[in-house]
Amino acid sequence: MKLPAFFQRRIHWLNLPSAILMLILQRTPAATLVAVADEIVAAAPLGTVLKSALATAAALGAVNTVVGATPLVPSSGTASGVTVTTGNSVSVFYTVNGTQTPPQSWSVSGSFPPGLNFSGLTSDGAVNVSSLNLSGTPTTAGTYNVTIIAYEFTNQGGIASPSYSYTVTVTGGNTATAPSITTQPSSQTVTAGTSVTFTAAASGNPTPTFQWRKDGSDIAGATSASYTIASAAAGDAGTYTVVATNSAGSATSTGATLTVNAATAAPTFTTQPSNQTTTAGGSVTFTVAASGNPTPTFQWRKDGTNISGATSASYTIASAAAGDAGTYTVVATNSAGSATSTGATLTVNAATAAPTFTTQPSNQTTTAGGSVTFTAAASGNPTPTFQWRRDGSNIAGATNASYTIASAAAGDAGTYTVVATNSAGSATSTGATLTITTTDVAPEITSSPSGQLAALGSSVTFTVTATGSPAPTYQWRKDLNNIAGATSASYTIASVALSDAGHYSAVVTNPLGTVISGSATLTVTTTASRHLNDVTVTSGHGTTLSAGSVTGSVKWQISTNGGSTWADLTDGGSYSGVTTATLAIANVGSTLNGAQYRFVVANNGVISTSNGATLTVATVFFPFPTGIGADGSGNLFVADANADTVQKINSSNQVSLLAGANNSTGATDGTGAAARFNQPNGVVVLASGSLVVADTANATLRAIDANGAVTTLAGSSATRGGADGTGTAATFSAPVGLARDSGGVVFVADSMNHAIRKVTSAGAVTTFAGSAGAQGSTDGAGAAARFNLPNGIAVDANGVAYVADTTNNTIRRIAADGTVSTLAGLVGVSGFDNGTGLAALFNRPMAVVVDGAGNLFVADTGNSTIRKVTAAGVVTTFAGTAGIAGIADGTGADALFNQPQALAIDAAGNLYVADTGNAAIRRITPAGVVTTLALTAAPAPTPTPTPTPTPTPTPNPSSGGGGGGGGGGAPSVWLPLSATLLLALRQRRRSRLARRD
């Protein structure tokens, strides 16, 4: 059967030999070329088959009807692929080769290369040869699997749809890679009600997306690289992971545990101590339990007095004595408050004990016929029985504590003893001699009582011996006053009280006369009521210890062996005031580390001894701290005007350098130790966590990011003045104090300019109050107000600023509109008085902060105290003692400071003090409890290992067969072309330069 005439006209010139026809078919687009073989046979009304040369060419891959096309083989054959390069335009056509009926339409599905698209293309004419076009510019390297379905008419009149798997390989650029977690989320512990954020980072191509999970379940809407819980609750505790996903796969992070601690709560006793009864020598333990957050500490008390070292939830007396009887309570304390338990009574019964003589029988002299009585006393449990003896032989019936001879005879003379016996044992008294005389003799003292030193609550006995005939009688006296009932040769005080201290003597009498013994002094020792706190001092500095208000003589002692022995101190060297209520220790060195100090007070026979306070000599991290700031993560940042550095104290009290180099002055911007400062002072922490530092001697404000990178925000180290402007166009004279408002605007106390300035985050500086170079004390609006060397500044939540106007000795208030008023203090008058407004006095106040309730805290530098000022101007002393510079931890007035110059406050209301004169950082709780931070050097950071580069795989060359494709091992034509153009441009430039010369 012949083709239609219009077809014959189009292809009659193709009646060529097969070899030539094959060559033409391989090189000619199918859209304009239709081959004819030896004969054309119409196989069906819906399709045609090219045979002969066409079939042969198809077998050789010549069916691709567009130059560069890649064939699709029949469904029984092998699928083919194509390789292209990112950034290069691609246009590739496909059709079905072999003897299949040409497709009428196509369907494509699977992973499409970004930047490439498939579209159908149909040639004109009656043959209806259909093809598929892949075109576009690929953007992402990778291997993409595509399924192609060609819908075609069969010889049977139906529709066949062979499916082909096809691979598109895109080389160059970045290869699509599955996600990899590069920053894992960290476990966190927070208090209920606070904010917490988990953060992760992942690499991958394309850029991965994120989905956060809690305990394995997706969190709705949590699809960012970080996930924040604004107010953590107990139910938020769990394990958090994040899944990173892209077209190449997904990856799941390690789990980060969130622990939610309960909110702060004052102590409450859940278990009260119980009454107890024990036998002397037995062990007894009182136990309590108390809830609270933070976990409370404990202090046991006996009869209202603290028991030294009894700071656990239980208190044990290993061997109870009679003096241990009393009422025991315990005080539970945490930062939220304290609570006192109910009282528990300890009853101590006497223990079984062998007899001990408390009163020995005395020698006696009597005349013949006279009456004589020997008396003894013995303690013991059970109560002992007695058996008297004469010259070692039992006396029948003499079984009482005393033995009387009603009418002594010469034969009764001898040595008398008594044996005291109970179930625990027996004891024999000393011998008492009975002398029978025939002549009366006046009394004579043979042994006077001796002075004694007795502890409070202990037992003491005075004894006198005398001769005389008839036997004398006795009367004991204290301070020359008779003691009722004390009529024996010995006098015992079973439990010594403070009132028992004094001078004791005995009056000895018989009918022939009276004699008085020598006086014996009883000195009572006790523990001083004032407790000394341990003290930490930086090396090279000094401290003071105070005995408080005492009556009597005072002496201070030192122990260098843990309190085993004590030696009196003498004035000179490091010590002064060794016999006064206040001991001063100057220029403390490392040799005194661990030494203990105590005071001893003697007053009217009572000696009171304090506990030992341990001196710790700390390393100097901040020789002259002048600025301090606190962030929301428990970190402190301290500027040191002597060291010219800014250092960081983390929540573990570890110190590390943030920026600057120790004792290296300059104004260089840089990172860490490469940056330089010149007497840095005020520090303010921005909401981002970055710092702004008042670089006072450079007359600039410096910004420091979390990595220690320092830049100059405003001002110029080369120029001083009071000009407003932006960046280096603005000038300062001596910026000292810094604060910020809720909008991030920084307020500056420009001390030498006597002005308050404002600085935006862009470094734009304006004068808020005062006039540059004009000092004074005038209240007023904006430039009409006057200051005198202001040093400290704070801003409350309403945008109201408060200024420590140092030389005016006042606290000033600046409303948001710039109106200045005096809140407290009397202009030009230095002193120390609490009161309201002008009735209060300050002495060079240098720093001020404000808490969430609107209360101010002022570093009253000249008075070495921390003062509190309410919004109404009521001034009280929060911590420290005016006029006493030193270092001592404690509560309120028990604490001592030395010219503090800077303050910071955290979210919990804790104050942090740069105690400049002590070279120390101090913490003050809202309850006024002062402690010295025990600082250590932060460990050196571990260097981050250099990652091993990932080898780039060598691309595989294109497989044979088919035309074109963008890949393969050969370099692109653009490589030599680019090199040629570059050489040409260089040559042209040289020619121009030669002509110019």
Residues 116 and 37 in one domain: yes
Residues 357 and 399 in one domain: yes
Q: How far apart are CA 289 and CA 269, in angstroms?
A: 6
Containing 59, the helix (H) or strand (E) segment is: helix 53-59
Q: How far apart are CA 60 and CA 98, in angstroms?
A: 10
Containing 287, the helix (H) or strand (E) segment is: strand 284-287
Contact 813, 823 (CB under 8 A): yes
Q: How far apart are CA 556 and CA 594, in angstroms?
A: 16
Which pairing describes strands 810-814 and 502-510: parallel, antiparallel, or unpaired? unpaired
pLDDT at 977 over 80: no
Residues 606 and 634 in one domain: no
Residues 77 and 186 in one domain: no
Radius of gyration of the chain (CA): 51
Chain-centroid distance of CA 592 in Å reads 29
Mean pLDDT, rounded, for 490-498: 94
Asked, for residue 959, whether it belongs to a domain, the answer is: no
Contact 768, 757 (CB under 8 A): yes
Region of 392 on the Ramachandran plot (φ > 0 left; ψ -120 to 50 alpha; else beta) = left
Which of 72-76, 85-89, 706-710 tops mean pLDDT? 706-710
Q: In the listed set 618, 646, 672, which residue is the last one of a domain according to the structure?
A: 618
Please, which residues have CB within 8 angstroms of residue 739's CB and are 6 or more apart in sequence? 684, 746, 747, 793, 794, 795, 801
Mean per-residue pLDDT over the chain, rounded: 84
Mean pLDDT, rounded, for 560-569: 92
Judged by DSSP in three states, 722 sits in coil
Mean pLDDT, rounded, for 38-44: 28
Residues 345 and 357 in one domain: no
Q: Which of 541, 557, 560, 664 is nearest to 608 (CA)?
A: 557
Q: Which of 30, 33, 43, 136 is nearest to 91 (CA)?
A: 136
Query: Which strands, in side-by-side order, build the sheet including 835-836?
Result: 835-836, 874-879, 865-869, 856-860, 845-850
pLDDT at 524 over 60: yes
Chain-centroid distance of CA 787 in Å reads 38
- Residues 688-736 pLDDT 10s: 999 999 999 999 999 999 999 999 999 999 999 999 999 999 999 999 9
Asked, for residue 464, whether it belongs to a domain, the answer is: no
Residues 896 and 758 in one domain: yes
Please, which residues have CB within 8 angstroms of residue 344's CB and are 6 or more apart in sequence? 272, 273, 274, 275, 276, 286, 327, 328, 329
pLDDT at 126 over 50: no
Q: Can you tell me which residue has the tokens 């010149």?
A: 678
Question: Higher-confidence residue: 73 or 296?
Answer: 296
Mean pLDDT, rounded, for 74-94: 63
User: Backbone phi, then psi, for 428, in 5-degree steps?
Assistant: -115, 135
**Per-residue pLDDT band at 878 (split at 50, 70, 90):** very high
Q: In the listed set 288, 321, 349, which residue is the last one of a domain according to the structure?
A: 349
Please, which residues have CB within 8 angstroms of residue 67's CB and are 6 or more apart in sequence? 27, 29, 963, 964
CATH of the domain at 106: 2.60.40.10
Q: How far is CA 882 from CA 449, 809, 896, 899, 924, in A?
A: 51, 15, 9, 11, 17
Which pairing describes strands 691-695 and 196-199: parallel, antiparallel, or unpaired? unpaired
Q: How many domains does the chain have?
A: 6
- pLDDT of amino acid 333: 97
- pLDDT of amino acid 116: 79
Single-letter code of the amino acid located at 120 = G
Residues 580 and 725 in one domain: no
- pLDDT of amino acid 701: 98
- Residues 332-362 pLDDT 10s: 999 999 999 999 999 998 878 899 999 999 9
Q: Can you tell me which residue has the tokens 């809202």?
A: 926
- Residues 709-720 pLDDT 10s: 999 999 999 999
Q: How far apart are CA 332 and CA 955, in angstroms?
A: 74
Helices (H) and strands (E) in the chain, counts: 4, 89
Asked, for residue 839, whether it belongs to a domain, the answer is: yes
Judged by DSSP in three states, 279 sits in strand
Which pairing describes strands 81-85 and 163-171: parallel, antiparallel, or unpaired? parallel
Maximum separation of any 2 CA atoms in the chain, in Å: 184
- Residues 618-640 pLDDT 10s: 888 999 999 999 999 999 999 99
pLDDT at 20 over 50: no
Nearest 5°: the CA angle 213, 218, 219 is 80
Provide, rounded to the nearest whole percent, the portion of the chain with pLDDT above 90.
66
Judged by DSSP in three states, 213 sits in strand
- pLDDT of amino acid 376: 97
Contact 114, 101 (CB under 8 A): no
pLDDT at 832 over 60: yes
Q: How far apart are CA 358 and CA 177, in angstroms?
A: 96
Q: Can you tell me which residue has the tokens 């107990």?
A: 234
| Count of residues in the chain | 997
Q: How far is CA 237 from CA 188, 258, 643, 837, in A?
A: 10, 5, 44, 49
Q: Can you tell me which residue has the tokens 């005939």?
A: 469
pLDDT at 109 over 90: no
pLDDT at 770 over 90: yes
Question: Higher-confidence residue: 558 or 7?
Answer: 558
Asked, for residue 453, whether it belongs to a domain, the answer is: no
Asked, for residue 990, whether it belongs to a domain, the answer is: no
| Span between the terminal Cα atoms of the chain, in Å | 82
- pLDDT of amino acid 131: 65
Q: HSE of 720 in the Cβ direction (CA atoms, 13 Å)?
A: 13
Which pairing describes strands 201-205 and 238-246: parallel, antiparallel, or unpaired? unpaired
- pLDDT of amino acid 530: 82
Contact 967, 171 (CB under 8 A): yes
pLDDT at 957 over 70: no
**Per-residue pLDDT band at 844 (split at 50, 70, 90):** very high
- pLDDT of amino acid 94: 63
Mean pLDDT, rounded, for 931-958: 62
Mean pLDDT, rounded, for 410-419: 94
Q: How far apart are CA 507 and CA 518, in angstroms?
A: 10
Q: Which of 49, 71, 51 is nearest to 62 (CA)?
A: 71
pLDDT at 48 over 90: no
Residues 655 and 670 in one domain: yes
Q: How far apart are CA 66 and CA 383, in angstroms?
A: 128
Q: Can you tell me which residue has the tokens 């969190």?
A: 219
User: Backbone phi, then psi, for 282, in 5-degree steps?
Assistant: -85, 160
Question: Both tokens of residue 713?
Answer: 């925000």
Contact 913, 889 (CB under 8 A): no
538-564 CB burial, b ≥16 within 10 A, e <16: beebbbbbbbeebeeebbbbbbeeeee
Residue 420: strand pairing partners: 386, 427
Contact 355, 426 (CB under 8 A): yes
- pLDDT of amino acid 633: 95
Which pairing describes strands 911-915 and 819-824: parallel, antiparallel, or unpaired? unpaired
Single-letter code of the amino acid located at 73 = V
Chain-centroid distance of CA 112 in Å reads 53
CATH of the domain at 696: 2.120.10.30
- Residues 788-806 pLDDT 10s: 999 999 999 999 999 999 9
Which pairing describes strands 535-538 and 613-618: parallel, antiparallel, or unpaired? parallel
Mean pLDDT, rounded, for 483-501: 94
Contact 37, 48 (CB under 8 A): no
Please, which residues have CB within 8 angstroms of residue 40's CB and are 6 or more apart in sequence? 1, 2, 3, 48, 50, 51
Contact 417, 361 (CB under 8 A): yes
Q: Minimum mean pLDDT among 241-250, 335-344, 694-703, 987-996: which range?
A: 987-996
Residues 331 and 190 in one domain: no
Contact 784, 800 (CB under 8 A): no
**Per-residue pLDDT band at 996 (split at 50, 70, 90):** very low
Cα dihedral across residues 761, 764, 770, 773: positive or negative = positive
- pLDDT of amino acid 140: 78
Contact 313, 325 (CB under 8 A): no
Residues 596 and 641 in one domain: no
Cβ atoms < 10 Å from Cβ of 779: 13
Cα dihedral across residues 633, 639, 640, 644: positive or negative = positive
- pLDDT of amino acid 59: 31
Q: How far apart are CA 36 and CA 890, in angstroms?
A: 110
Q: How far apart are CA 410 and CA 367, in angstroms?
A: 9
Q: Minimum mean pLDDT among 144-148, 543-547, 788-792, 821-825: which range?
A: 144-148
**Per-residue pLDDT band at 187 (split at 50, 70, 90):** very high
**Per-residue pLDDT band at 991 (split at 50, 70, 90):** very low
pLDDT at 551 over 50: yes
- pLDDT of amino acid 57: 32
Judged by DSSP in three states, 145 sits in strand
- pLDDT of amino acid 945: 52
- pLDDT of amino acid 129: 43
Asked, for residue 476, whether it belongs to a domain, the answer is: no
Q: Can you tell me which residue has the tokens 């691709």?
A: 64
- Bond into 294 cis (ω within 30): yes
For 302, the domain range is 265-349
Q: In the listed set 937, 970, 992, which residue is the last one of a domain according to the structure?
A: 937
Asked, for residue 903, whether it belongs to a domain, the answer is: yes
Q: How far apart are CA 752 and CA 575, in angstroms?
A: 40
Q: How far apart are CA 482 and CA 507, in angstroms?
A: 9
What's the pTM value of the predicted model, to 2 decimals? 0.47
pLDDT at 366 over 80: yes
Residues 590 and 674 in one domain: no
Asked, for residue 540, whether it belongs to a domain, the answer is: yes
Mean pLDDT, rounded, for 731-758: 97
Question: Higher-confidence residue: 79 or 108?
Answer: 108
Residues 630 and 647 in one domain: yes
- Residues 127-176 pLDDT 10s: 344 566 778 888 777 777 777 766 554 444 444 555 566 677 777 666 67
Mean pLDDT, rounded, for 565-575: 90
- Residues 664-687 pLDDT 10s: 999 999 999 999 999 999 999 999
Q: Minimum mean pLDDT among 306-310, 732-736, 796-800, 937-941: which range?
A: 937-941
Cα dihedral across residues 814, 820, 823, 829: positive or negative = positive
Judged by DSSP in three states, 988 sits in helix
